[in-house]
Amino acid sequence: MIQLLPLALLGAVLGLDVVSFPQAMISRPLVAATAAATLLGDPVRGLLIGATLEMFALETLPFGASRYPEWGSAAVVGGGLFAMRPDGPGTFAVAVLIALVAAWVGSWSMVQVRKLNARLARARHEDVAGGSKRVVEGLQVFGLTADLVRGGVLTAALLALAVPTHEFVLGRWGSDPRVSSAVVVSLAASVAAGAVWKVVHAAPAARWLLLGGIGIGLALLATR
């Protein structure tokens, strides 16, 4: 449990980055999972799961008021879980699944904070309409604090649930490690390929550039 505290603090800071402050994308899985695993002494495993989660995250861009997954605390959960366990047949697959579910739960928790902010803004409407500096700044500080607490509590709760779940599932794992790994990577790369296409398809010659890029990538692989 002591091990979870630094991860919860990291989840708080990275959860805050998703929307509230400073949106520098330190909450993207590539960074967040690596940071979590680095705290546990294994940055390379963090980068591996971070890159995999980043492929999923390519599809979920934070457009306006739309509801999108919260990758900051989710990637801390995924990176932390993957770095905690020695390599096993299902370690990677289960850590990725738990991180994806955590991103979903995180999305719900962001909506709750936004609703809380709205309730407070409604209650303080008269003061805001009167130009109260104290209230305008207070609403901002409250929202930032609530989001910080949300990220920390969420990460701690998810890790507290995920660690025993991870252990339980891995204790009963019956699939071949090659198949387990192939399934996760196929899903992640399929989502990433679809996402890249979604983003670039309207640009002139994008189809050919994407196909050309894939060709170059495959040729580089063949020469390795």
Q: Which of residues 168-187 bind another protein (CB under 8 A)?
A: 169, 172-175, 177-187
Before 22, cis peptide (omega within 30)?
yes
Q: Binder to another protein among 8, 54, 80, 152 (CB under 8 A)?
A: 54
129 binds another protein (CB under 8 A): yes
Size of the site for another protein (CB under 8 A): 113
Q: Binder to another protein among 85, 117, 149, 153 (CB under 8 A)?
A: 117
Report the distance separating Cα 209 and Cα 213, nearest Å.
Answer: 6
Check the CA dihedral 24-29-33-38 and report its sign. Answer: negative
How far does CA 112 lie from the centroid of its chain? 18
190 binds another protein (CB under 8 A): yes
81 binds another protein (CB under 8 A): no
Q: Tokens 């999108």 correspond to what residue?
A: 68
We find the least distance from the C-beta atom of residue 97 to another protein, in angstroms, to be 5
How many C-beta atoms surround the C-beta of residue 208 within 10 A? Answer: 9
41 binds another protein (CB under 8 A): no
Interface map 6-35 toward another protein (x if CB under 8 A): -------------xxxxxxxx-x-xx--x-
Count CA within 13 A, CB hemisphere, residue 103. Answer: 25
We find the least distance from the C-beta atom of residue 175 to another protein, in angstroms, to be 4
We find the least distance from the C-beta atom of residue 29 to another protein, in angstroms, to be 9
Which residues have C-beta within 8 Å of that of residue 104, sequence separation ≥ 6? 69
Report the distance separating Cα 39 and Cα 3, nearest Å.
Answer: 9
Residues belonging to the chain: 224
Question: For another protein, which stretch binds (CB under 8 A), given 7-15, 73-81, 113-121, 149-157?
Answer: 113-121
Q: Binder to another protein among 6, 114, 149, 161 (CB under 8 A)?
A: 114
Using CB under 8 A as the binding rule, the residues of this chain from 83 to 112 that contact another protein are 90, 92-94, 96-97, 100-101, 104
Is there a contact between 31 and 25 (Cβ–Cβ < 8 Å)?
A: yes
38 binds another protein (CB under 8 A): yes
Is there a contact between 27 and 99 (Cβ–Cβ < 8 Å)?
A: no
